[in-house]
Structure 1
Amino acid sequence: MSVSPHLTRRGFVLGTIGLSTAAILSGCATKGTETKGDATNGGGTPAAAAITLQSSLSDPLPKKALESIVAAYPGDVTLNTVAIEQFRAQLSTYLTSQNPPDVLTWYAGSVARDYAKNGYLLDISDLWVEKGPAASYSTALKELSTSDDGKQVFMPTNYYWWGVFYLRSSFKKWGVSEPKTWEEFIALCDTLKSKGVNPLSNGVGTTPWMASGWFDILNLRVNGAAFHRELLTGKHSFDSPEVRKVMDYYTQIVPYFDPNMTAYAWQDAVTPLVQGKNAMYLVGAFISQNITEGDPDDLDFFSVPVIDQSIPVAEEAPTDGYFASAKTKNVESTKAFLGYLASAEAQQKFIEAAGSSNLPTSPDVDVSKFSPLVQKGLKTLADADQITQFFNRDSSDALQTTADAALTKFLAKPQEVDSILKEWQAAAQRVFNS
């Protein structure tokens, strides 16, 4: 479920300023930690039956952090970690199998809603009622976690922001600073290119969804959050004048991308940024987990500048967490574990151990203890008028596939944008009609 088009920063961030990783990670499959004992679901019900957690958090630090959280849980949980792209491809199979994992990592919003519509997700509404572990969560988070029939089916545990990340030391070396307008941004790209630096890093090889990051933010800047959400639910055409205008701005920045971007996954594109070969990277705050050397305060970011002053400022803040299979044979144990993951203690420990720049959803976590980068991220979201998720989170994984095909083709042949948009709309229409 996407955030309501009328949800403002007060409805999302100030309601969750006490909210406060990323599931967009990769790595190798492994079996994790198993611990045994007794637990309760917060209502005093024994919950000692064994359950399985299927996780896509496979980068070393988040993986290790989740292992430690599971190990500290006084119940019997087996953790299985799977690389993100494999997890994404197999998620439907997990949920439709006769013996699915009890709990799975993934996303709030329309993705969870779509699985719930098909009857795959466990109703955990009782965890959201008075005295439940999620009872103090914001209305916005509850909305994101609610299915079309009004049941809560998701437990959000963290969210993060997207921005244009860079290294302060590199900007200082090149004698440049953060741009405040779109014109200044283009001028900055020109300056950097004249110095032999690739202005923009990107990784659209095995992670083609990265091309949607720029599409999302440019659509938010050109047409606004309401249009963006409506477009992703089939109410507008990808072959419309509004989207064509978005692509005009996208075309402006194509010459500034690293020419090797099609050979990179998103993680690979971090390396030339750290090496000073590339200057900036529009990416989620999860990038901080892939910069493990040097001064941790060297990493900084700015928002893509406003293009149209009449358009309310929107930022992307994808929300992650866990849902459970409707087929779980251990409902009480599953709910007890979800309640544990929802706790301030578990979230604080996970974010610190993961070296994450994510923001916790529990209002009881003390966010003042987090890094200056996270504090800046909080302010960015607090200053935004609207909050969105990410392309597939505000639409579906099926529509994301159409975006991957269209936008990677566009990056290779921007002069063919007209035919690409026509093809994109035809592909999207097939998704909406299916």
Structure 2
Amino acid sequence: MTRFSASPHPLLGRRALLKAIVAGAGVAAVPGLAACGSDGGGAATDAVSFGNNQSDQVPKDAITAVLKAFEGESGLKVAINTKQHEQYQEQINNYLQGKPDDVLSWFAGYRMRFFAEKGLTGDLSEVWSKVSGGYEPALKEASTASDGKQYLIPFVQYPWGVFYRKSVWRQRGYEQPKTLDELVALSTRMQADGLVPIAFAQKQGWPGMGTFDQLNFRINGYRFHVDLMAGKEDWQGPKVREVFDTWKRLLPFHQENALGREWQEAAQALQQGKAGMYLLGSFVAQQFKGPDLDDLDFFPYPEINPEHGQDTVEAPIDGFMMSRKPGNPEGARKLLEYLSTPAAQLAYLKADPSQIPTSSKADTSGYTPLQKKSAQVIKDAAHVTQFLDRDTDPRFASDAATNGLNAFLQNPDDLDSILKGMADQAKTIFSE
């Protein structure tokens, strides 16, 4: 562990992973991700293996339904290899270097390019030549590496925002805050009303990255955010310090003991009316059913710096890659082409309506109010980001960033040493 971490969860796996990468380790110790793939690039068979990171029950059932539909249409069988979501992300480097599945879940943007440029995933330009008419140019750009080739098929997308229960807000007379001062005033009022103002969880290591991102691009703007993620800005500089100072002002309104809580538990505090707000992706809706889901709403994070307003939205794109040597290359391409279709994406969203399809040809008439708002928020944004751990070098995200954020949450007064540690690691990683 680095100098930052005082808690054993969840970084030991990430730290061990980085050492394994340096040592050139394989995947023998990762049975959940190593079981189904092939490195032969051989002749087509009647089966395609599929690496799945959707381990929570709702999205797991949703993607299973999609793959069953593909089986019915194609005559191919799909062997689904599901791994717990955080473990999947921690182990993907070794997974891709071993015998990965033919088709595998991953993310657009920097994280996709990182593996493509290391030659660890397959070129999907042939598939894109058939499906590009169903995607907006920005989605193709997010799926393209520096060599100009595409390595990902986008599937679904979801915005981050501040979620709340409409009935609770009506009962209390709350109104959406437009500025940081209004957010602080609303949070203060919620505390007086006996609510936790902001539900919060950090046991899984990544949720706090969303808060950092919102504050960073609201304070410093989209370009600074992108450059910081690329190692072109100083983590010890005044702009980053202002982000943490602003977060420190908001910490008293956050749900306590976040390092011991998973995001689903924080979502339950919102669902039960014990918390007034929750900053998360729209997948939070997976924790709401029936009338509770209809009661869920959100708004983009409030303005902090008028120069940037609310011009940037975090809206990660989830999709699928192909291994560099699939056991069934023809079947893998058929599956990826199918996953690009409106039918496949809408079939998924029928079971998991917390997100929106990436296909521009998808029928939106059946959208829920939450999906309609999600689509509009993304459409209205001048800039769209992926997410901290998708927009930066994975070594920085899984080590320096996660440990630094956890250390800040444990001891926000130790900011000097935390930022120095993050800056030192950024210099090392981004100078390589």
The match for 2:271 among 246, 271, 274 is 274
| Alpha-carbon distance in 1 for matches of 2:265, 2:145 | 36
SS in 1 for 2:131: coil
Matching residue of 2:217: 220
How do 1:18-33 and structure 2 match up within 5 A?
A: none
Gaps of 5+ in 1: 1-28, 35-45
Structure 1 position 47, deviation (Å): 6.5
Structure 1 position 395, deviation (Å): 0.6
Matching residue of 2:121: 121
1:286 and 2:293 are equivalent in the alignment: no
1:220-253 C-alpha deviation (Å, 9 max, x unpaired): 1111111100001010011011111112211110
The match for 2:182 among 181, 184, 191 is 184
SS in 2 for 1:127: helix
Matching residue of 1:208: 205
Matching residue of 2:249: 252
1:103 and 2:100 are equivalent in the alignment: no
How do 1:325-404 and structure 2 match up within 5 A?
A: 325-354=323-352, 356-401=353-398, 402-404=400-402
| Alpha-carbon distance in 2 for matches of 1:337, 1:293 | 32
Structure 1 position 180, deviation (Å): 1.7
Structure 1 position 260, deviation (Å): 2.7
User: Does the 8 A contact of 2:121 with 2:321 survive in 1?
Assistant: yes
Structure 1 position 293, deviation (Å): 5.2
User: Does the 8 A contact of 2:51 with 2:100 survive in 1?
Assistant: no
| Alpha-carbon distance in 1 for matches of 2:54, 2:202 | 20
Matching residue of 1:17: none
1:238-288 C-alpha deviation (Å, 9 max, x unpaired): 101111111221111011111132210111111111222211110000000
1:318 and 2:319 are equivalent in the alignment: no
Matching residue of 1:11: none
Amino acid at match of 1:328: P
1:68 and 2:65 are equivalent in the alignment: yes
Matching residue of 1:433: 431
Amino acid at match of 1:123: D
User: Does the 8 A contact of 2:124 with 2:151 survive in 1?
Assistant: yes
1:91-121 C-alpha deviation (Å, 9 max, x unpaired): 1122111x32111111011111010111111
| Alpha-carbon distance in 2 for matches of 1:136, 1:346 | 13
Matching residue of 2:297: 300
TM-score, length of structure 2 as denominator length: 0.86
Amino acid at match of 1:126: E
User: Does the 8 A contact of 1:220 with 1:314 survive in 2?
Assistant: yes
| Alpha-carbon distance in 2 for matches of 1:261, 1:190 | 19
Amino acid at match of 1:165: F
TM-score, length of structure 1 as denominator length: 0.86
Structure 1 position 418, deviation (Å): 2.2
Matching residue of 2:78: 77
| Alpha-carbon distance in 2 for matches of 1:30, 1:112 | 21
How do 1:39-50 and structure 2 match up within 5 A?
A: 49-50=46-47
How do 1:145-164 and structure 2 match up within 5 A?
A: 145-164=143-162
Comparing 287-296 and 193-202, the one that deviates more: 287-296
Structure 1 position 358, deviation (Å): 1.1
| Alpha-carbon distance in 2 for matches of 1:291, 1:60 | 13
**Aligned in 2, Cα 1:96/1:245: closer, same or farther, shift over 3 Å?**
same
| Alpha-carbon distance in 2 for matches of 1:365, 1:318 | 18
User: Does the 8 A contact of 1:203 with 1:264 survive in 2?
Assistant: yes
| Alpha-carbon distance in 2 for matches of 1:392, 1:208 | 10
Amino acid at match of 2:397: Q
**Aligned in 2, Cα 1:287/1:30: closer, same or farther, shift over 3 Å?**
farther
Structure 1 position 48, deviation (Å): 5.3
Matching residue of 1:195: 193
User: Does the 8 A contact of 2:209 with 2:389 survive in 1?
Assistant: no
User: Does the 8 A contact of 2:271 with 2:287 survive in 1?
Assistant: no
| Alpha-carbon distance in 1 for matches of 2:117, 2:250 | 39
Matching residue of 2:26: none
User: Does the 8 A contact of 1:47 with 1:336 survive in 2?
Assistant: no
Return structure 1 stretches of 4+ with deviation > 4 angstroms: none
User: Does the 8 A contact of 1:204 with 1:263 survive in 2?
Assistant: yes
User: Does the 8 A contact of 2:49 with 2:102 survive in 1?
Assistant: yes
1:134-181 C-alpha deviation (Å, 9 max, x unpaired): 333111111111111111111011111000001111212322121122
| Alpha-carbon distance in 1 for matches of 2:378, 2:328 | 38
SS in 2 for 1:156: strand
Kindly indicate which of the two structures has a greater share of residues assigned to helix: 2
| Alpha-carbon distance in 2 for matches of 1:53, 1:163 | 31
User: Does the 8 A contact of 2:164 with 2:278 survive in 1?
Assistant: yes
Gaps of 5+ in 2: 1-30, 37-42
| Alpha-carbon distance in 2 for matches of 1:255, 1:282 | 15
Structure 1 position 343, deviation (Å): 0.8
User: Does the 8 A contact of 1:134 with 1:342 survive in 2?
Assistant: no
Amino acid at match of 1:210: P
SS in 2 for 1:327: coil
Structure 1 position 397, deviation (Å): 2.1
User: Does the 8 A contact of 1:314 with 1:384 survive in 2?
Assistant: yes
SS in 1 for 2:264: coil
| Alpha-carbon distance in 2 for matches of 1:305, 1:318 | 19
